[in-house]
Amino acid sequence: MQQGWGAAAGYPGIVLDGSGPEVHGFVLGSAELDRHWKRLDHFEGDEYERVLAPVRLSSGETAQANVYTLRRVSGA
């Protein structure tokens, strides 16, 4: 979706919808990630929320990953 602060920079927001199109991206990991969630959440801002979502890796395996999605506005 062309919403959220990143849309103007060419990074559209995502709304998880099992019936929507497949979205391609990157899965990154770090042993230090737990120490940085607060900072990452602050960077993404109030327009986004971090949720766990199933992802399919290039190997074909599935995993759970944290994804920043557009925060749903009540009534929308």
What is the predicted pLDDT for the residue at 75?
A: 57
Please state the domain count of the chain: 1
Query: pLDDT-derived band of residue 74, with 50, 70 and 90 as boundaries?
Result: low
Q: How far is CA 25 from CA 11, 43, 56, 57, 75, in A?
A: 11, 19, 10, 10, 29
Query: pLDDT-derived band of residue 9, with 50, 70 and 90 as boundaries?
Result: confident
Reply yes or no on whether the pLDDT at 61 is more than 70: yes
| Inside any domain, residue 65 | yes
Structure tokens at 46: 């109030």
> In terms of pLDDT, which residue wins out, 4 or 27?
27
In which domain, by residue range, is 25 found?
7-70
Q: Give this prediction's pTM.
A: 0.77
66 - beta bridge partners?
A: 52
| Inside any domain, residue 76 | no
Instruction: Pinpoint the alpha helices (H) of the chain.
Output: 37-44
**Cβ–Cβ under 8 Å, residues 29 and 57:** no
54 - beta bridge partners?
A: 64
